[in-house]
Amino acid sequence: MRDFAYARAGTPESAVGTLADPGTSVIAGGTELLNWFRLGIAAADRVVDIGGLDELRGIAMDGDDLRVGALATLNEIGEHPLVTRTAGALASACLQAASAQIRNRATIGGNVLQRTRCPYFRAEEPLPWPCNKRDPGSGCTSLAGRHERQAIFGWTRDCVAVQPSDPAVALAVLDARADVLGPAGPRTIPMREFHLTQREAAEAGQPMRETRLEPGELITGYRLPASADGQAYVKVRERASYEYAIVSAAASVRLDEARAAGARGQGAAGARGQGAAGAREQRIAAARVALGSVAQRPWRLTAAEAELPGTPLTREALIPVIERAMADAAPLPQNGFKVTMARNAAVRALLTAGGAS
């Protein structure tokens, strides 16, 4: 650790003003930034604390949108009745992240900005191997080393890391927008576009860039369209507590109510006679689905979303739809299993969101 000056921001505008100095970092919960300092991933001459800015707190309805302040903690979001009622996938994702103690400190603004958990990137200084994110141009050790947890979409030979945030996947599937304040004023960024894959960053001429945030910009909150659709977040990990996802999936499903009402109209006797077959008559009217920990951004399966309306809400019907949407997956030699695991997670999320699991 190196010494740094510390100051508290009085307003969001003053915090943005301090970020004009490239030697300044912003701290909120601190659960990620202090790790960066310890490992040598980042260093700062000055740290500005935004934790006292009440303008960045709160969870409330704003017209038809649910607004979540950037300083809302993961536990606050996961347990808030407005979130559980209108954005259940986000509540679930928040409560499946990290540990209860960390969730009490970690903010939703900082969580989506966390860096990859790639072990080659997370090594302490002096770095014993090449890593383009830590030392641009040095190479990617993971490409020829261990990469079973790395990307199956959007990677390049410069980097194969994934974005590990759980809430980011839910925010992407729920069509959330990030409210951002910067030197040029406020703007919004759709969360499905907030992060960049390595390929997208390379095409933009900045191969190590990870988000669409510009220098000096600060996330102030998120807006999500309130929804009554069924939602789910599925996280596959090696243990059920304090572990990052191997793969994850978030889904939002609206059922064809006219068809469902027709099935209900057959009466109790018909339902008893058909058993599980009656439930299989439910069909999807609209759905959204996104994968997590498969790329350097949440991966919306837009081809599946276009095909899902009219599809029966059954595992047998959903699997080929998801497989077609994942046809462009490019697994590495050690992580081909993630293709099947991600497919299964997406199907499970859709079934759970539709009430069939």
Tokens of 46: 């000055």
Identify the CA nearest to 195 among candidates 229, 228, 161, 220. Answer: 161
Tokens of 244: 């990052």
> Within the chain, what is the greatest distance between any pair of CA atoms?
74
pLDDT for 268 equals 45
| Tally of CB atoms within 10 A around 332 | 17
**Sheet-wide strand order for 24-27:** 5-8, 46-49, 24-27
**Which domains are delineated in the chain?**
55-114+163-225 (3.30.465.10), 230-353 (3.30.390.50)
3-class SS at 190? strand
pLDDT for 1 equals 75
Identify the CA nearest to 189 among candidates 172, 210, 206. Answer: 172
Q: Using CA atoms, how far apart are residues 199 and 285, in angstroms rounded to an integer? A: 33
| Digitized pLDDT (tens) for each residue of the chain, 357 residues in all | 789 999 999 999 999 999 999 999 999 999 999 999 999 999 999 999 999 999 999 999 999 999 999 999 999 999 999 999 999 999 999 999 999 999 999 999 999 999 999 999 999 999 999 999 999 999 999 999 999 999 999 999 999 999 999 999 999 999 999 999 999 999 999 999 999 999 999 999 999 999 999 999 999 999 999 999 999 999 999 998 889 999 999 999 999 987 655 554 554 444 444 444 444 579 999 999 999 999 999 999 999 999 999 999 999 999 999 999 999 999 999 999 999 999 999 999 999 999 997
Amino acid at 131: C
Place of tokens 């302490």: 124
Give the burial class of 5: count Cβ atoms within 10 A of its Cβ; 0-12 exposed, 13-18 middle, 19 or more buried: exposed
